[in-house]
Each structure stands twice: as C-alpha cells, then as structure tokens.
Structure 1
Amino acid sequence: MNQLAKKTATGAIINISVTLFKNLAQFLIIIPILARILTPEQFGLIAMAMTLVGFLTTFHDLGISAALVRAEKPTAAFWSSGFWLNFGFGTLMTVLAYFSAPWVAAFFGEPLVEELVRLMSCVLFLHCIFLVPMAWLQRNLKFQTIAVIDLAAILISSTVAIVLALNGCGVWALAWQQILLYAVKAIAGMLLHKAPIRFVFEWAPIKAVLPFSLGLTGTAFVGFLNRNTDNVLIGRFLGADALGFYDRAYLMMRMPMKTLSSGLNFALYPALSAVQSDKGKLGTAYLKTVSVLSVLVFPMMTGLAVVVVPFVDLLFGSQWGPVAPVLGILAFVGLLQSVGSIANEVWKARGRSGLLLRWSLIRSAVFIIAFSIGVYIGTLEAIAMAYLIANVILLVPFQYELIKELNISVSAMLAAVRAQFLSSLAMAAAVLVVKGMFPGIESLNSTLQLLILVPVGVMAYGGAMVVFFKSFIRSTFEDYKMLRRSGDSSAPAVA
C-alpha cells in the first residue's frame, strides 16, 4: 500500500471522525432542541424554500471544481478561470432565485415561502465562491483543514439557529442557519486556500474540460430531481405539515449514510483519479471500500429500522410520531444508496460523466413514477415504500454495469457484503425475538427501550461476525496492519 493510499485512508478517517462528531452533535443536541421548539409546518416551509435554492446550486460551476481535482497538472489560469466562472454563476443564480421567489410561493400555495427564498438566495453566491478553494484543499489532501471548516460552520450556524428559535423567530431561525452555514464555509475557504487565483480569465482551460464537467453538471441536476421530486410533490399536494414530517425522516435516513460514505468518498475521489487507468487497482479499491463501509452502514440502518419508534420519540418528542413509520422504511433506502454512492466516485474517476448522467436520467424517470404513485395513494408511508422499491429495482443493473467495467465477478461483489448483510439480518432477528418474548418492553419509556434493545443488536451483530465470518475480520485486520506499515513510496505531486 503506497503513500497515496495511506493519505487517502488518513483523510477518510479524519473526515469520517469529524463528520461523526458533527452529526452526533446534530442528533443529540441540535435536532432535538429545534424539533421541540419549532413545528413540523415550519420545517416544511423551509424545505419548500430550499427546493429552488437547492435546484440552482446544481448549476454552480458546471463541474469545474471536480475537473480541477481530477486534472493532472491544472495551470494557474485554470484555477483563476474556474474561480471567476463560479463568481459569475453565483451572482447570476442569486439574482434569478430572488426574482423567482413569487412563483415558488404560488406553486406551493404558501406566501411566506416568497420571503424565505429571497432571504436565502444569497446562499447560492456563498456556495459558489467556496467551490474552487475547496477543490484546492481536496486536491492537496488537506482533509483536516476541510474538516475543521465544516465543523466550525455547522456549530456556528446551529448555535445561532437555536438562539433565534428560543427567541421566537420560528422558521427564520432555520433560514439563518442555512445562510450562516455557507457564509462560514466561504469565508474560511477563502482565507485558508493557496490556489493561484488571480484577476485572470481564460476560456481555453474551461473549454477543454467541458465534456467531463457538463456531464457532472447534468448528473447533479438530474440527481437533484431524484432527491427532491418527493419534496416537491409532498409540499404541493399534501402540505407543509406532511413535508415537515417527511423531511425529518429523510434527514435521519441520510445522516448515518452521509457520516460514513460522504467522508470516505471525499477522500476517495482524488485517490481513484490518480489510478484511473488501472482497472485492477480500481476494482480492488472499490471492493475494499464497499466492504468496509457496509460493515458500519448495514447494521446501523437495519438497527434503526427495528428500533425506530422509541428512537424518534426520544429524539424528536411525541409531536413527531408520524416520522417513525416513514423512517423505518427509508432506513433500507439508505442502506442501498450507500453502496451506490461509492460507485459514483469510481465512474467520476474514470471520467465517465456521460454514463453517470445516463444513469441519473434513468433513476429520475423511475423515481418520479414511484413518487407519483405514492402521492396518489396519499400517505407518507406509501411514498417511502415506493421509493424503496424503486431503489431495489435500480440497484442491480447499475452495480452490474460497474463490475463489468472493472472486471469484477458477481461472486466477488457478493462476497464483499455477504458477511455484513447476514450479520445484520441476525441482529434484526435477535432484537425482534427479544421484543416478542418480552412484550412489556414496548410499554417502557423510549430511553429504557433503547438501553435494552441496542446492546442486544450490537452483541448479535458482533457475535455473528466473529463466529461465522472470521476470515473477513482477519482480512480487514491485515489490511489495517498494512496501512500502518505503509509509507515506503511518495504520493504524486499536486498543484
């Protein structure tokens, strides 16, 4: 294992550790406090406003920042041109959002959404000016710096949001939380990066990467539709209250997955790009990454599904009861999507942005049909179940195309997740058996239920892994020892 692999693993550990701390703070402090002060309707209103803001962020820099990370030796002109392109796009998108606000409010039938969109339109500019500094930090493997910026942004913005909510600001507390989140990132990124940004703009370096970057932009755009069609339909047809419940359930589903896969993928992309032409190394890296990620994600999401009722009651309070059945279904969506997120990084490293776009279009069509069926039925549970079924349908052909590209056998792919999958099933079975044998558990308060059931699940999962999958544990431990001993070769130069 060379120095690049060691830096990648170190970067992933730093990102995952900080993201874990950040998300634990959100889980245990920020979200419970805000959920007890604010109403589902207020969370629904901010989700409505974020549909436009989030939509416009998909066009932020035409994928130029990803191209800067992937380029072998980006020139100073490329860095400068990328930054000023983002600056212009951010300004344009902010103006567009501001003047589009009345139409968004009219679509949802909520007049307050107009004011929210206009206030939050500045998020687009703040986001865009941070992208190139972030690309420089990522390219140069400055993962610790990125982690500190991210942590500072979430802590500052969330603290202000809680103070505002406690002082009766309502939905505006959530709006300012988003603004401050991006403001802190933008300011810190501009101060800490060392990219050679000057008052220069050249079209040539931008034009050279447009086939790759436009494919990523198209993928991001369609990906936004995939992730937000449900919000748009729920907000339009079921109202702000229903959207508030669904939005919290979706956030809880995404958090464990983002904690692990996002931090890992962020560190993984520059490393995969460095070996993009070697299918053997890419295939090995992919299988190892899927294997390690699923060790944590599979039991987390399965465990969440079987203890979801006391979990939601403890975290949010009784007014958020409708979140529980929705989250119980969406947990399995998160399990499936964690594997797909790694595949996306491999395709990006291979420069196959066009293929990513094609799959995003396919997903979008399937998800729109699924969400429409769920909304027609008229319940949040139906929408979540339709989403899960759609993800199951899409997973097999998407993964099959990837393993063919990397010359990975189906048996090797299944072997990478078999131990984790079966052990997670054993864990779920153990928890359900305990609940069935001792029905009085469900009459206890939520804290006591979790104190009983979570250790049962942890012991069942760990026991199954140790008893039935010793070879997997031994292989993982050997990889860890190799990582500790590595360092005999140097990382490739970066600009």
Structure 2
Amino acid sequence: MPELVNKAKKGLQWSAIERILTQGIQLLITLLLARLLGPSVFGLVGMLAVFIAIANVFVESGFTSALIRKTDRCDNDLTTAFYYNIAVSVMCYLVLYFSAPYVAQFYQQHELQSLLRVLGLTVVINAFTLIPRVKLNIVMDFKTQAKVSIVSVVISGTTAILLAINGFGVWALVIQTLLNASSNTLFYNLLTPCLPSGKVSKQSFNYLFGYGSKILLSGLLDVIYNNLYQIIIGKKFSPAVVGQFSQANQLASVPASTLTGIIQRVSFPMFSQLQEDPIKLGNAYQLTLKMAAIVIFPLIIGLGLIAEPLLTSLLGNQWQPAAALLTALCLGYMLYPIHAINLNLLQVTGRSDLFLKLEVLKKIIGVTILLLSIPYGILVMAIGLSITSYIALLLNTYYTAKLTHISQWRQCKDITPIWLAVILSAALAYVAGLAWQAQPLLQIAINLFVALLCYSLYLFFAQKPLVIQLRTILRR
C-alpha cells in the first residue's frame, strides 16, 4: 500500500504539472486569439466541435479504460485495440468528409464544409496516440506525457497566434488543432512506439468491446449532450452568440477539466489496484472526494467571481455578454471533478452497465431541463446546465453508495460544508468589490483577496485536520 501511495503521489504531481501547464498555456493562447479574432470565428469552430468529439468517442470506444482496468493484459490486447482504433478512425473521417456539405447546410454557413473536412483529419491523427497513452497511464508515467503535451501546445499555439496576426482568421484555429494533434502523435511515438508486437485476437476484442461498448455508449451520450447546447444555439442564433457561449463554456471547463483530468488519471489506476479490497477502496474514494472538493471548489468559483472584470479587461467589451454565462456555468462545473471520482469507482468495480444506465438517466433529465429553458434565452440555458450538474451529483452518489460502505448521506455531508463556505466567501467578496467596478484590475484583486481570506479562515477553524492530512500526503 505505501508503494502504491508513493506511486500515486508522483503520478499526481506530474499529472498536475502536465494538466496545469498545458491548459494554462492553452488558456492564455485562447484568450489572445479571442481578442485577435472575435466571437464569430470561435463560433464557427464551436459549431463543429460536436462532430469531431463524436468521432473521437467512436475511435476510443472505451478500450482505454478496459486496458487500464485489465490486470492480466497482454500484447494481443494492445494489438487488437491498436488496429481497431486505426480502422475506426479512418471510417469516421470518411463519414465526416462526406457529411460536411450537410453540416454546412444545417447551420447555413457554407465555410463549415471545408473547415470540417480539414479538422476531421485530427481524428485519424489522434488514433495513433491511444496505445502510447495507455502504456504510460498503466505505469502512471505522467512525466513523459507532461513533456509531450507542453511542447505540443507551445508549438501549435505560437503558430496560431502568428497566423491570426497575419489575417488567417478561422484557419488559425483549425491549423492550431491540427498541429497540436500532429505534434502529440509524433512525440508520443518517438518516446513510446505504438505498434504492438502481438496479434489481433478475437478473444481480446470480445473482452475489450464487451467492457468498452458500454463506456462507448455513455461517452457518446455525454458528448452529444455536452455539445447539444452549441448545436441549438448555432441553429437559433448567430455565430457571434455561439462564440460567446463556447468561449464562456471553455473558460469554465478548462480549470474543471484540468483538475478532473489530474484526479481521474491518477485515481482510476489507483482504484483499479484496490478493487479486491472494498474497505480500502471505499476509504481511498472518500478521502479523494474530500480533498478534491477542498481544492477545486474555490478555484472554479473564484473564476466565476471575477468573470466580468476579467473578460472586459482582457478581451474587450465585445466579450462582455460571456461574463454572466461564465459565472452561471462555473456553479455547475465546480462539481465535475466530483462526478469523475464517482464514475471512476463505477468503472473500476466493473459496473460499466450501471455506468451506462446512470448516464442515460442523467441525459434524459438534462435534455428535459434544456427544452424547458430554451424559450427564456441563453443565460437561462446556462443556468439550467448547472442545475443538471447538481441533480447528476445526487444520482452519482446514490449508485456509488451501493458499491462502497459510504452512504449517499455521508458523501454529501463530506462536501456540502465546503461548498457552502466557498459560496459564502465568494458572495462576501463580490459585495466588497462592487465599489471598484470602474477599475477592473483592482476589483479582481479585492474580490480574490476577500474570498481567499474568508475561505482560509473557514479551513483553519473547520477543516484543519483535513488540511493537515492533505499537507502530509503531499510531503511524503
């Protein structure tokens, strides 16, 4: 167990370095590109996001989780997954290529046809990184992944900025995506060659697809649902409005997905190695849940707190409508890492059937809320998205309680006080900054100072043992 803890700690550190640096650099690049290109350009790319994401889900097909979870994996498993990924990626690209005219017609934006045909190439390119990523995740080698991701994002981001300055418009974003995928593929295969030495095996495929197919279906539902807002907004509103929403959604999701990725990539292999001991698994799950909440909640809500002065000072007044959307979305995205921990537990315990059932139920509820909110405008739609996240938390904890000795009430009890402290701290900070709205940078400083002070006092008086435990783990 101590060896696993040390391995998980190193994995967490390098996973954090990779995610934070990569996403941080990407965020800075995105902000600069947003200022240079404007909402309409981002709206065009946002309209196509769902089609690329769906293709990537089909290519991955849940095989990554299946390979990581399988303790007796062999070369035949890796070989079968590799050739399956490549074959499916080619088929998906052909579908994207020939459907491009219909996508452009749906949105009534003719330039989307050529954009989709070029962006679709990333689906094939990314397929060659899946096996190297699996190999590195299994041994928790996030140091190599950190190096690859950081170099790739710098190369692609710098190129995109130069293209944007020189008037390439939306193609700056397209080339950035292609170059990032190509760089990742090149470096991953130089450091960890993806061509396996085994044979394609029917037995391996049956296991991988048998487990992964449910992950595939749930992932497909998740991708379609998460992009449903942009599809509807793209159909009903202009590219500029799509750009406002997609930018707000990206800004809210970057810290959430970054922190979720860090936790998910480390907790899944760690939980996998504890799956035979329910008590240890439950204890590790509970500790991960509380520590994620204590760190992540204030970071996401802090972004929502300073949304308006941040966007107007960095991007200009053309992006001001995105501020209210960003604040509303942050209230929901703060729970995403908690969702990831819950769902990891379902996958590790082999309940991919329950995982799928849960995803279907959540999507039905989410679509219902979406349909009810459409008539009231884009802000209410964003609020509805956040409400869905809280309903999802109740459903996730209900099912994970059945697989551990930790009840749903105990799970909610662990994180609710932290949630309340963060919201109260943000509310007090918002009031303190109202007098400084004419000076955005000073308002941001006051907001963050007051929020940090209030939250720190809460941690000191109410969560001191947990803070000490977190500090002890990090120092090991």
TM-score norm. by structure 2 comes to: 0.95
Residue in 2 that maps onto 1:395: 393
Residue in 1 that maps onto 2:216: 217
> Distance between the aligned counterparts of 1:108 and 1:367, measured in 2?
23
Shift of 1:194: 5.3
Match of 1:412 among 387, 407, 410: 410
Residue in 2 that maps onto 1:119: 118
Structure 1, residues 209-230: CA drift from partner, whole Å, max 9, x if none? Answer: 3221111111111111221111
Residue in 2 that maps onto 1:234: 233
> Distance between the aligned counterparts of 1:261 and 1:298, measured in 2?
12
The answer to whether the Cα contact below 8 Å between 2:305 and 2:447 also exists between their aligned partners in 1 is: no
Cα 1:242–1:374 change in 2 (3 A) is farther
Residue in 1 that maps onto 2:267: 268
Residue in 2 that maps onto 1:292: 291
Aligned residue for 1:3, secondary structure, equals: helix
Shift of 1:337: 2.1
How well do the aligned residues superpose, as a CA RMSD in angstroms?
1.8
The answer to whether the Cα contact below 8 Å between 1:253 and 1:334 also exists between their aligned partners in 2 is: yes
Residue in 1 that maps onto 2:24: 24
Match of 1:467 among 458, 461, 474: 461
Aligned residue for 2:269, secondary structure, equals: helix
Residue in 2 that maps onto 1:422: 420
Cα 1:196–1:128 change in 2 (3 A) is closer
1:13 partnered with 2:13: yes
> Distance between the aligned counterparts of 1:86 and 1:30, measured in 2?
30
Q: Map residues 90-489 of structure 1 onto 2, 5 A cutoff.
A: 90-193=89-192, 197-198=196-197, 200-377=199-376, 379-435=377-433, 439-444=434-439, 446-480=440-474, 484=476
Structure 1, residues 225-263: CA drift from partner, whole Å, max 9, x if none? Answer: 221111111111113111100000100111111221211
Shift of 1:273: 1.1
Matched letter for residue 22 of structure 2: K
Higher RCO (Cα < 8 Å, 6 or more apart): 1
Shift of 1:6: 1.4
Matched letter for residue 463 of structure 1: L
Cα 1:65–1:440 change in 2 (3 A) is closer
Shift of 1:166: 0.8
> Distance between the aligned counterparts of 1:372 and 1:478, measured in 2?
47
> Distance between the aligned counterparts of 1:393 and 1:69, measured in 2?
29
The answer to whether the Cα contact below 8 Å between 2:259 and 2:296 also exists between their aligned partners in 1 is: yes
1:3 partnered with 2:26: no
Deviates more, 1:323-332 or 1:447-456: 447-456
Matched letter for residue 425 of structure 2: M
Sequence identity of aligned pairs in percent?
A: 24
The answer to whether the Cα contact below 8 Å between 2:430 and 2:447 also exists between their aligned partners in 1 is: no
> Distance between the aligned counterparts of 1:466 and 1:73, measured in 2?
45
Structure 1, residues 73-130: CA drift from partner, whole Å, max 9, x if none? Answer: 2121221121111111111111111111011111111111111001111111011121
> Distance between the aligned counterparts of 2:251 and 2:459, measured in 1?
26
Shift of 1:301: 2.2
The answer to whether the Cα contact below 8 Å between 2:129 and 2:194 also exists between their aligned partners in 1 is: no
Structure 1, residues 291-313: CA drift from partner, whole Å, max 9, x if none? Answer: 11111211122222322211221
The answer to whether the Cα contact below 8 Å between 1:234 and 1:375 also exists between their aligned partners in 2 is: no
Residue in 2 that maps onto 1:36: 35
> Distance between the aligned counterparts of 1:94 and 1:235, measured in 2?
23
Which runs of no fewer than 5 residues in structure 2 stay unpaired? none
The alignment of Structure 1 onto Structure 2 pairs a total of residues equal to 476
TM-score norm. by structure 1 comes to: 0.92
Which runs of no fewer than 5 residues in structure 1 stay unpaired? 485-495
Matched letter for residue 111 of structure 2: L
> Distance between the aligned counterparts of 1:233 and 1:305, measured in 2?
24
Aligned residue for 2:168, secondary structure, equals: coil
Cα 1:478–1:320 change in 2 (3 A) is same
Shift of 1:327: 0.6
